Amino acid sequence: MLTHPRKPVCLSLMSFDMPLWSVTETSAAVYQKDTEQFHILLTEPSLHHHTPSRSSTTVAATQRSPRLIWLEVSPYRVIMTMQGDGDSSYRHFWEEGVYGLSRYWLQNFEPHHGRQFRLRNFTRRLEFTQDTLPKSLRIEYELWANRLHLGRYVLSLDVHL
């Protein structure tokens, strides 16, 4: 597997239906499996989790460990796995025109430790552009819990060469 030096990337998630928008700018290692298949490994910068302290006027900030995000990318399908923050992990499978799975694992979830749940996603559109290395990825999908529609989303990844 050919490894390329770390490249700056921008990973964003946006909802069409809710006021949800998240952007992460970091660097990623790009591993080339063959001419159309890549693994992209990025570390999301550490997040600060704010929790109210006993005093109503102060908020304590605790730093969480960085999260690792691993994307297995081809023009036909994408698998995205996140792990490492100690509270949750997830894995999404997207393929255009197909119902895929989105699995979530919640650690320290009472009363059962290590609880997981699954949702379905329907991939409306998957666009992947590349030269010799990936340039961009855009996935438009819907999220479903049984027959309950949980919204439409866009996941974008831009690799700056």
pLDDT in tens, 49-77: 555 555 555 544 555 567 889 999 999 99
- In-domain check, residue 55: no
- In-domain check, residue 50: no
Q: Is the peptide bond before 75 cis (omega within 30 degrees of 0)?
A: no
Contact 52, 43 (CB under 8 A): no
Retrieve residue 154's tokens.
Answer: 């866009």
- In-domain check, residue 148: yes
- In-domain check, residue 49: no
Q: What is the pTM of this model?
A: 0.82
Q: Give the β-pairing of 134-145 and 99-106.
A: unpaired
Domain count for the chain: 1
CATH of the domain at 108: 2.40.128.20
CA 120-123-129 angle, 5° bins? 140
- In-domain check, residue 56: no
- In-domain check, residue 57: no
Tell me which of 77 and 1 has the higher pLDDT: 77
- In-domain check, residue 20: yes
pLDDT in tens, 104-152: 988 765 555 557 889 999 999 999 999 888 999 999 999 999 999 999 9
Q: What is the CA radius of gyration of the chain?
A: 17
